Chain A
Amino acid sequence: MAMISGDNHGLRLAVRYTVLALIALIFIFPLVFMVMSSFKPDQQLLVDASSLRAFLPVGDISLNNYSAAFERAPVGLFVFNSVLVTGVTVALSLLICSAAGFAFVFINWKGRGVILSVLLATLIVPFETIAIPMLLMVSKLPWLGMEGLTWGWLNSYHVQIIPFIADGLTIFLFVQYFKDLPGELIEAARVEGASWFQIYRRIVMPLSGPILATAAILKFLAMYNQYLWPLMVTQEEGYRPVMVGLQYFFQLNIAWGEVMAYLSLITLPVLGFYLYLQKAFIASIASTGVKG
């Protein structure tokens, strides 16, 4: 009896892992192709593409594409710009959106239901529809910076950061998570004399690890993959992020090897960030059912 059920169990596990491995393979293939191709000259890359060799480090392997990519475009600057814009936006977004979620869930004020509904309704508005009006708006806004008061936000970091700090989805994520926190914890803290800010900082935030990780990853990906907006608001190379920088490789003659080298390079920060938050992110998907 025990042996039969043990065999069954083993068989089921084997089937499960095979299926999982196949699915993983489907997701990994394009990545492997990208990384392998980044080491090959264009000619070989195109020949290999029709066979399994496309996924193997064979033939004329070198780092030439990488050095060419750095020559063709200021890759380091683009990565720096992207990481800066993304990092600052994620940090501010977590702060502002969690505070907004806190106010929606724990503080009783007139009109919060209506405002939350309006906020959620913004989720169905595609960014493309508001891009032009927003461009017109930011091009006229004042800014107090190093050079004193200037008008128009174009060609700057803040034009890529400020419009994306608060968004309906992130606030909604926090609202949902906070609703599940035991209300008596908040009440206990109130009776103990804590102010709303102290409750936010000392009770709610320390208990929000999983949702902070989820919101951070979702926001990170959305910001890092930004293309349309930075293309519209940065005419100067100095402020452009990685996705807009990709254009350099499609001008005149397309160098596929360099494109792949560039793509491999800009994937690294995403990978690093994800690995850093992986544990919390998976825990959060398991508990909230929300995924990126």
Chain B
Amino acid sequence: MAKISLKNIKKSYGNVDVIKGVDIEIEDGEFCVFVGPSGCGKSTLLRMIAGLEDISAGDLVIGKTQVNDLPPSQRGVAMVFQSYAIFPHMTVRENVAFGLTIAGASKTEKDAKVAEAARILQMEHLLDRRPSQLSGGQRQRVAIGRAIVRKPQVFLFDEPLSNLDAALRMDMRMEIGKLHQQLGATMVYVTHDQVEAMTLADKIVVLKDGKVMQTGAPMDLYHNPANLFVAGFLGAPSMNFMNVEVVGVKGDVAEVSSPVLGKVRVSAKRGPFAVGEAAILGLRPQYITLESGQALMTGKVALTERLGAETVVDIGLGDGTSLIAALPQDTVYSVGSDIAVGFDGDKAHLFKAETLPEKGAH
């Protein structure tokens, strides 16, 4: 088992910087998820840890060894690829045993370790099949089997579930979670899927344009996003943003207003804010209420999506912007009807005005 630390890691292709000085500490046995939109450098970072990409600058330490210039095989890592990368000309058994064969293990040792891995992944019955005879989920198991059989210090997963269909993805996600508990190994997992990130991670690293936006436990990031990008990226549907003006400040609480919003007190921990300052108010759709008693603004229902356990309502506001509300029950709203909109000021987030993240960044 091992701790991984990345110190000011940089990567450039010619003049193009893709990783711009990343510092991350991954504790021994931790499940760390790199998440971000495509092109943010998360896969490159993982491949740098694996040794498949050169490191342009910085220090990469696994355990107590600086591994910058070590080949992949000497870093004590195992990797599961997006395409699974299982060898098509070998049986499942030969695939799982590949690393052991290369290391010159005896047949008895290989048999024992492969059997153990097959038991953990419940794929004993697949051992003599060829990859072409396996389904996507089974191939995924083989790829994971090949990774665990060598008992590496560190597991690296590069978007391992993105080729699976939705139902299977959920099953495999849970299995990977269980596997982590069972093995207790350090795992680094790359995904663009925030649900995978939120459910699996001990620690999430949100990346954008080759830089770390925020690092922390999933719920810390969800409840206390450090910036607009993280706030907009985590949570589904994504957070609503409104341009507001600060009209009063008292400690961690600010009073804000906008043309469509009457004066309201909101929590303002990312201060200091000054009276008259333009700011951005972030509202999670789940904390918006549509009951007339708590109305702070009014709007018109533009669209509703009834999901059974949840109803998502798209509300058009007076100034032409819109707001998404997610209500925790099946409710019917008729499109075009006027509606009262309220929210809990304690659950709102006030950000310094900066460029809004693009909608649907994930």
What residues of chain A have their CB less than 8 Å away from a CB belonging to chain B?
Answer: 182, 184-185, 187-194, 198, 203, 206-207
Task: Tell me whether B146 is interfacial, beta carbon within 8 Å.
Answer: yes
Specify the main secondary structure of chain B where it touches its partner: loop
| Whole-angstrom CA separation of A290 from B146 in the bound complex | 36
CB<8 Å pairs between A and B, sample of 24: A184-B83, A184-B85, A187-B50, A187-B52, A187-B79, A187-B81, A187-B85, A188-B79, A188-B81, A188-B85, A189-B87, A191-B50, A191-B72, A191-B73, A191-B79, A192-B98, A192-B102, A192-B150, A193-B73, A193-B102, A193-B103, A203-B87, A207-B88, A207-B89
Flag whether B77 is at the interface (Cβ < 8 A).
yes
Which residues on B sit within 8 Å (CB–CB) of A188? 79, 81, 85-87, 146
Residue on B nearest A185 in the bound complex, by CB:
B85
Given contacts A182-B85, A190-B72, 19 further A-B contacts (CB under 8 A): A182-B83, A187-B79, A187-B81, A188-B79, A188-B87, A189-B87, A190-B51, A190-B52, A190-B73, A191-B50, A191-B73, A191-B78, A191-B79, A192-B73, A192-B146, A193-B73, A193-B102, A206-B89, A207-B89
Contacts of A203 in B (CB 8 A): 87
* A residues less than 8 Å from B79 (CB atoms): 187-188, 191
Q: Hey, which bits of chain B sit against chain A, CB under 8 A? A: 50-52, 71-73, 77-79, 81-83, 85-89, 98-99, 102-103, 146, 150
Cβ contact within 8 Å between B77 and A191: yes
For B86, the closest partner residue in chain A by CB is A188
Q: Which residues of A contact B102 (CB under 8 A)?
A: 192-194, 198
Q: Complex: how many Å from CA A184 to CA B98?
A: 15
Q: 10 nearest interchain CB pairs? A: A193-B73, A188-B85, A184-B85, A192-B99, A206-B89, A191-B72, A184-B81, A191-B79, A193-B102, A190-B72
Note all chain B residues with C-beta closer than 8 A to A184: 81-83, 85
- Is B73's CB under 8 angstroms from A194's CB? yes
C-alpha spacing A82/B55, complex, angstroms: 53
CA of A193 to CA of B79, assembled, Å: 11
| Most B CB within 10 A of own CB, among A184, A188, A193, A207 | A188
Residues of B within 8 A of A190 (CB): 51-52, 71-73
In the complex formed, the residue of B with least CB distance to A206 is B89
Residue numbers in B under 8 Å from A207 (CB-CB): 88-89
List, in ascending order, chain A residues with CB within 8 A of B50's CB: 187, 191
Inter-chain contact A193/B85, CB cutoff 8 Å: no
Whole-angstrom distance between the Cβ of B84 and the nearest chain A Cβ: 8
Q: Nearest chain-A residue to B71 (Cβ)?
A: A190
Contacts of B78 in A (CB 8 A): 191-192
Once A192-B98, A192-B102 are accepted as A-B contacts, the answer to whether A185 and B73 lie under 8 Å apart by CB is no
Contacts A203-B87, A206-B89; A189 near B81 (Cβ below 8 A): no
Whole-angstrom CA separation of A203 from B52 in the bound complex: 18
- Nearest chain B residue, comparing its CB with the CB of A209: B89
Bound complex: CA of A188 vs CA of B83, how far in Å? 10
B99 surroundings in chain A (CB, below 8 A): 192-193
Residues of B within 8 A of A198 (CB): 102
**Which of A185, A190, A191 neighbours the largest number of chain B CB atoms within 10 Å of its CB?**
A191
Q: For the complex, what is the distance from the CA of A194 to the CA of B97, rounded to whole Å?
A: 12
CB distance from B109 to the nearest CB of A (A): 15
Whether B98 lies near A189 (C-beta < 8 A) is yes
A191 touches B103 (CB 8 A): no
The complex places the Cα of A182 from the Cα of B99 at a distance, in Å, of 19
CB closest chain-B residue, reference A207: B89
The CA-CA distance from A207 to B88 in the complex, in Å, is 8
The residue on A at minimum CB distance from B103 is: A193
Expressed in whole angstroms, the minimum distance between the Cβ of B248 and any Cβ of chain A is 57
For A182, what are the chain B residues with a Cβ–Cβ distance below 8 Å? 83, 85
Given A192-B98, A194-B73, the answer on whether A185 and B87 have CB atoms closer than 8 Å is yes
Q: How far is the CA of A198 from the CA of B83 in the complex (A)?
A: 22
Bound Cα distance from A206 to B94, whole angstroms: 14
